Structure 1
Amino acid sequence: MDQFAKDSAEPRPNPYNQGYLANGAVPHQTVPVPGATPLLPNQGRVIQSGPIRVLCIADVRGNLRSLNDLAKSARADYIIHTGDFGFYDETSLERIADKTLKHVAQYSPLITEVTKKAIAQGVSAPVKTRFHPSELPLSELPLLISGEIKLDVPVYTVWGACEDVRVLEKFRSKEYKVPNLFIIDEAQSMLLEVGGVKLRLLGLGGAVVMHKLFDNGEGRTTIAGGQGTMWTTLLQMGELVDTANRVYDPTETRIFITHASPAREGILNQLSVTLKADFSVSAGLHFRYGSSYNEFSVNPTLDHYRGKLAASKASFNDVWETVKGEVEPAISQVEAQQTLLKNALAVVEKMPTTAAGGNPFGGAAAGQSAQALGQVDESAFKNMWNFNLADAAFGWLVLEIQDGRIGTEMRAQGFNFSHRGAKQQPGVQPAPPVAAGTSPVAPSGPSVPPAAAPAAQPRAAVPAQPSRSNAPTPAPAQAKPATPQPPQAASPAPKEDKPAAAATAASAAAAANGTANAPDSSAPKNPADNIIGLFIMNAQSDDQVRDLFGEEDKAKIIKIDRWGANNKVAQFKTTEERDAALERLPDDVKNRAPGQEDRSKPLVKIFAPPPSRHISRGGAGNWGSSRGGRDGGAQQSGYRSAGGGGASDSEGAGRRGGRGGRGGRGGDRGGRGGRGPRGGGGKGDGASPAPAAE
């Protein structure tokens, strides 16, 4: 792959001993040795046509088989991974803390949903005593070490925040060896010569926690960690600076690979500038989309950027002044560690103290002369590009390299917005379907008090209300079937909805007089009113729907209709047959624990048709109260996006449990319900295109 074969007779000259060669310049041609036979065009080198593709992913969490699948899907020649790789072996379970184990298990793709639900239950006993080790597979790394799984392409990775420090130490001592797996850390960088570009990979793993920068934990070497978690130390940063200086070559393109995001950690941002990085690739935010930006694009001014760095410097100085008296005597006898500490402190010293004036990488304070302020260095501010990745289960970034040019391709599964296609009017409940000549049968789900669920009336029977947003009402169009919603307690009607309340009272009076079922010529007919069926969400095919039922109930299904993207309605002749079929279904098909909705498994509810009315799919009226999920029947305002049930999607405020104080990051993002990295929205918080789990 543009990689010259080694020739023992005439080794390649060392590029570090050559003079600087500008991009595009032609090197000096040497005269061939007399008598030497020139090589034919294709001898002595590997020829590969087309671009070289480098796949950048994050957080496979021990699901190492997926690396080969992702490489095939992205047609990748190399993989760069940004941490939470799954560095756990057979002995890691006994060392991991219970709090960390709960966190790892909750988002692990290797642990079954049944086990996850059992772990999530508030039982005081430790997780390791409640489950057999075979039920808690942390990683497929032992299979990789034994050779049962092989990596198809070279994988370059740093370690993340949830890893076992003992396992990383065994890799560093060469006790563990895996073909095609290369760990990038502060002591080791890698060089890829691909597509006419020399990529220098510099990496720093672990979480960045200020109060742990001087704590090595249980690490026996320079790697810091303990009880199943890992973090970065200041000495590691100093050693990375030393490594980058030793391998520096101006003809290389440098990529800084981290687990924590330089966008949020000012000290990492400053470190990337010190390393002269052209790109940074990070994870740790756990978005459903990857992001691509440079500092110039997200900061309105240089002073705004300086402020972010100044805040990080102040936070570091608070810790440094506290531990300075203990750290300096401890390393006074080790000259190498003193050098590394000076390297790291020099990085922090260059960070600005205030947001105003001067060079953002160490300029003079505001109020000094123009000569003292110096030239503002905007090179890294405008030219260093940062990529933050989604988790591997949700998206990736591909660097496509050809003819010296690095292009990008970013893909993401994204959020599910299908639930916005058809929303019912707040406070109006659909009436369950009742066959002619039969009495209504109560659904098997949670009961709804009769007073809390008034009969829904067609919109034509309700006097028109003025729009609160003063937006013109769209012209009636051919309405698509609305997505059924589960029965819920109706919200109290607002004051301006008195005509609607009067219509409801009139309907009740009509029912008392025995005229409730009389046809209303003014009301449009709703074909869904005649459907007697069960609503199955997450159903991919008719065969999958039939397989849910026993042979006795299969024969009673008269028709299966598609209802939405991945939903079906199985129709029966009578409500008795329908309810008997529902009663015989397993509980895990009929109910879901709150917050544990799995969108890959079917969920069955009694079909409740939407009220017969035209549904507005546009306009801005009342968006805050009609979007988003419901929590205990109460309407939530603001933006709510569908969780999807996948790992790391908008995790709760405790997302970083056991990681040294990072847990509280997303507390102020709870109101965004899925948009923030660790917002309080939770995994299953978003609205669903089908009845929510009860």
Structure 2
Amino acid sequence: MASPRPPHNFGISSPLPNGAAPSGPVPGATPLLPNNGRIIQNGPVRVLCVADVRGNLKSLNELAKQARADHIIHTGDFGFYDDTSLERIVDKTLKHVVQYSPLLPDHVKRSIAQIPPQQPVKARFTPDQLPLSELPQLLDKRLTLDVPVYTVWGACEDVRVLEKFRSGEYKVDNLHIIDEANSRLLDIGGIRLRLLGLGGAVVMHKLFDNGEGKTTIAGGQGTMWTTLLQMGELVDTANRVYDPSETRVFVTHASPAREGMLNQLSVTLKADFSISAGLHFRYGSSYNEFSVNPTLDHYRGKLAASKASFNDVWDTVRSEVESAISSNEAQKTLLDNALDIVDRMPSVANGGNPFGGPVAATNAGGQVDESAFKNMWNFNLADAAFGYLVLEIDNGRIGTEMRAQGFNFSHRTGKPSTAAPAATQLGGGAGAPQFGQAPPAARGAPFQAAQAKPQAPPATTVSPAPVIPKPATPQPSASEKETNGNKETEKPSESPVLKGEKKQSNGLFISNVENEQAARDLFPEEDQSKIVKVEKWGKFGHVVTFGTPEEAKAALDRQPIEHKKPTPQGQPRKPNVKFFEDRGSRREGNAGTWQASSRGGASAPTRGGYQSGASDSETGRGRGGFGRGRGGRGSDRGGRGRGGRGGFNRSGDSPATEKPAAASTGGES
């Protein structure tokens, strides 16, 4: 039996007889790496963080090329819909999804917006006219992902599709779903990056409702939300894979800045960063709690309000939940994990420890561990059509680059915007221009360069009209303009006209229409392409500006005769179209160029920007959880709506035969 070959001693050459050829590796060859030949990436590693691609999955490859990214983290509303999802989506959710889908052309969106509420959308369009996502192309490998993508699910997804991914029936190369049962570990740039994820909207009255989900995943009818069991299982997963040498990133769809329970959960998970979406701003935001809270009491107040909201629901359903899980030890453990998160939250704004540490008896303010308060950094992303964040990791240091298309303020100068390349059409959908450019009138896929479209020159007899093209993602009310996430009514710019000088107008005044889109829809396609802008004027009027007076006159001539005559008294009001003349009339609010803000008023919206899919999941059309219909709480808790206990299964229920959630494996890859 031959003796084992001694290991090579590189760098020390043994003497050889004259003329003999050396055996073994050539001097200077590199030995096999100790990690079985795995390639180690040297130099900086770029991780692209994006949100809300809404089924436009080809854009992930384009964004990765533009940002030179090696990995992608996505924060929800990915587009988890397959060919069977359309039949399960209720009409209200479907209208929301298609309204903001980048895969549908504008004329289809306008047609859907005009469908009466009592008529279902699916009765007017065939499934091939309503593509919800490019996920089927990934499943049959017509489309591939160029770099690894790590994502949670958002508020508008199909729970059946997610369950097929969890069971292994669906599998896509380079697509990794991070959830309460599965984390991911990236060994890049000299650090070990641990990704912990939680998907879905956070809705207090649905924390105990599983909807149509068969496991701990909750959702139904095209929407998804978070349950208390998911939070408990995420804590269990994070504890099992805990390693103090790792850098922890908490990836969520809902924002920890607005959801106190998520904020406390991120502290429980010992997260160094949180990355979230769901606010739909034009800019991403980067902050820590110390930078946005003037005092610890202010921060405690946010957590205390969230705790009070949760306890209001928990007190209603507690007895029923506890009896439902009395025979299921695994679910009791997960529930205790989640309730421990809430117990650590302060109950009042003043004093106490917001991080659940000990409170000194001699100090009413408590002993506060400020490490998380000052050191945990939070990133909230703009939608993929408007911006992204890049984490550049090198030598153990994480740098950031945040890019945003931003707002277009060129209208304030009274001059037309400089010509910017229009976005190309990708899948017939809406998109956004390159960063730093004014949003084009034509819509296309995010960040796609193309040829600039020629614009009709303005008439020489009037001042140039400012060009305010439509944004890449349609707005709920086009007469409203988002300013840092808050709605403000747009005001038409002034065109100076000398006294006594009558100039032909290139604008048409339309009364009795609700919003900008309704004003646009009065014109045929040939006239819509010539519209420069639409502005709200007064309470019930809009001014539609064309490039030249001739175009305005031609558009007026093509209007039906009933739109040119005033509505007779006693009859329903119809739109009225005529030439616009600025006679110095009072504008809405009479507040000059800067209108009086409506924030805080009776009609002020509760959230800036348009509502995400989370608003759909808050309608209570699901099973209502364990609601007892307490007085004055609306229909969300009406009755005892028990149709599915949010995963809290009695031993005799059919789902109880499922594998316990706590037994889920795979905390790491």
Q: Fold match, TM over 0.5?
A: yes
Change (3 A) 1:653 1:164: closer
1:480-629 → structure 2 map (5 Å cutoff): 481-483=463-465, 507=500, 578=550, 582=554, 624-627=591-594
Q: Is the 8 A contact 2:151 2:178 kept in 1?
A: yes
2:146 is equivalent to residue 188 of structure 1: no
Corresponding position of 2:72: 79
Matches within 5 A, 1:266-305: 266-305=260-299
Rate the CA distance shift 1:363–1:149 in 2: closer, same or farther, 3 A: same
How far off is 1:37 after superposition? 5.7
* One of 660, 665, 670 as aligned partner of 2:618: 660
Contact 2:357 2:369 in 1 (8 A): no
Structure 1 distance, partners of 2:598, 2:310, is: 35
Q: Deviation per CA, 1:343-395, whole angstroms, max 9, x where unpaired?
A: 11111111111112232112567xx7227865311010000000000000000
Does residue 51 (structure 1) correspond to residue 44 (structure 2)? The answer is: yes
Give how far 1:333 is off. Answer: 1.1
Higher deviation after alignment, 308-317 or 203-212: 308-317
Q: Residue 363 of structure 1 contacts residue 373 of structure 1 at CA under 8 Å; is this kept in 2? A: no
Choose which of 230, 247, 267 in structure 2 pairs with 1:253: 247
Distance in 2 between residues matched to 1:115 and 1:385, nearest whole Å: 41
Q: Please state how far the C-alpha of 1:35 moved relative to its aligned partner.
A: 2.4
Asked if 2 retains the 8 angstrom alpha-carbon contact of 1:624 and 1:639, the reply is: no
Instruction: Tell me how far 1:114 sits from its aligned partner.
Output: 1.1
- Which residue of the partner structure matches residue 325 of structure 1? 319
Q: Distance in 1 between matches of 2:467 and 2:270?
A: 55
Give, in whole Å, the separation in 2 of the partners of 1:336 and 1:342.
10
1:389-409 Cα offsets, whole Å, 9 max, x none, are 000000000000001100000
1:115 aligns with 2:108: yes
- Residue in 1 that maps onto 2:173: 179
Q: 1:609 to 1:354 in 2, by over 3 A?
A: closer
Counterpart for residue 61 of structure 1: 54
Cα gap change, 1:204/1:37 in structure 2, threshold over 3 Å: closer, same or farther? farther
Instruction: Name the counterpart of 2:382.
Output: 390
Q: Deviations over 1:307-361 (max 9, x none)?
A: 1111111111111111111111111111110110111111111111111223211
**Structure-2-length-normalised TM-score:** 0.63
Letter in 2 for 1:406: I
The 5-angstrom pairing of residues 121-520 of structure 1 reads: 121-123=114-116, 124-363=118-357, 369-370=361-362, 375-422=367-414, 481-483=463-465, 507=500
Which AA in structure 2 matches 1:409? E
Which residue in 2 is equivalent to 1:520?
Answer: none
Q: 1:393 to 1:653 in 2, by over 3 A?
A: closer
Q: 1:485 to 1:237 in 2, by over 3 A?
A: closer
Does the CA contact (< 8 Å) of 1:103 and 1:657 recur in 2?
no
Residues 156 and 181, structure 1, Cα contact 8 Å, conserved in 2: yes
Using the aligned pairs only, state the percent identity.
Answer: 67
- Residue type of the alignment partner of 2:53: V
Say which SS state the counterpart of residue 66 (structure 2) adopts.
helix
| Counterpart Cα distance in 2 of 1:155 and 1:606 | 53
Cα distance, 1:94–1:300 mapped onto 2, change above 3 Å: same
Task: Describe the SS at the equivalent of 1:139.
Answer: coil
Residue 388 of structure 2: SS of its match in structure 1?
Answer: strand
Whole-Å separation in 2 of the counterparts to 1:388 and 1:534:
40
**Are residues 1:40 and 2:30 paired?**
yes
Whichever residue aligns with residue 137 of structure 2, its letter is L
Q: Distance in 1 between matches of 2:354 and 2:194?
A: 25
Map of 2:515 onto structure 1: none
Residue deviations 1:48-91 (CA, integer Å, cap 9, x gap): 44310000000000000100001001100000000000000011
Q: Which amino acid aligns with 1:121?
A: Q
Would the alpha carbon gap of residues 306 and 639 (structure 1) be closer, same or farther in structure 2, given more than 3 Å must change?
closer
The answer to whether the Cα contact below 8 Å between 1:160 and 1:206 also exists between their aligned partners in 2 is yes
Cα distance, 1:153 vs structure 2: 0.2
Q: How far off its partner does 1:198 sit?
A: 0.4
Match of 1:691 in 2: none
2: CA distance, partners of 1:585 / 1:177: 57
What CA distance in whole angstroms lies between the structure 1 residues aligned with 2:364 and 2:615? Answer: 46
For the Cα contact (< 8 Å) 2:201–2:614, is it kept in 1? no
Is the CA contact 1:102–1:127 (under 8 Å) kept in the aligned structure 2? yes
Q: Is the 8 A contact 2:42 2:189 kept in 1?
A: no
Structure 2 letter corresponding to 1:282: S
* Cα separation, 2, equivalents of 1:610 and 1:403: 62
**Structure 1 pair 570–383 and aligned structure 2 pair: CA distance change class (3 A):** closer
Q: What is the CA–CA distance in structure 2 between the aligned matches of 1:270 and 1:485, rounded to whole Å?
A: 45
Bigger Rg over Cα: 1
Q: What are the residue-to-residue correspondences of 1:12-23 with 2, within 5 Å?
A: none
Aligned pair partner of 1:93 in 73, 77, 86: 86
User: How big is the alpha-carbon RMSD for the aligned residues of Structure 1 and Structure 2?
Assistant: 3.8
Cα 1:243–1:586 shift into 2, 3 Å:
farther
Give me the whole-angstrom Cα distance separating, in 2, the residues matched to 1:273 and 1:183: 22
Count of matched residue pairs: 463
TM-superposed CA distance for 1:653, in Å, is 6.2
Partner SS state of residue 370, structure 1: coil
Whichever residue aligns with residue 87 of structure 2, its letter is E
Query: Does the residue aligned with 1:54 lie in a helix, a strand or coil?
Result: strand
Letter in 2 for 1:90: D
Secondary structure, in 3 states, of the residue corresponding to 1:218?
coil
The one-character-per-residue Cα deviations of 1:414-467 (angstroms, maximum 9, x if unpaired) are 11111111299xxxxxxxxxxxxxxxxxxxxxxxxxxxxxxxxxxxxxxxxxxx
Q: Which one-letter code corresponds to 1:626 in the other structure?
A: T
Note if contact 2:202-2:254 (Cα within 8 Å) is conserved in structure 1.
yes
Which whole-Å CA distance do the structure 2 matches of 1:225 and 1:272 have between them?
23
CA distance in 2, matches of 1:198, 1:586: 65
Quote how far apart the aligned CAs of 1:45 are.
Answer: 4.7
Contact 1:100–1:657 under 8 Å retained in 2: no
What is the CA-CA distance between 1:134 and the residue it aligns to? 1.3
Q: Secondary structure at the match of 1:393?
A: coil
In 2: Cα distance, 1:657 partner to 1:295 partner: 26
Residue ranges of structure 1 left out of the alignment (5+ in a row): 1-32, 425-479, 487-502, 508-515, 518-528, 536-547, 551-567, 592-604, 612-621, 628-635, 641-648, 664-694
Deviation, structure 1 residue 118: 1.3
Q: TM-score, normalised on structure 1?
A: 0.61
State the structure with bigger RCO (CA 8 A, min sep 6), 1 or 2. Answer: 2
Shift of the 402–653 alpha-carbon distance from structure 1 to 2, 3 Å rule, reads closer
Q: Which moved more, 1:324-333 or 1:248-257?
A: 324-333
* 2:94 is equivalent to residue 104 of structure 1: no
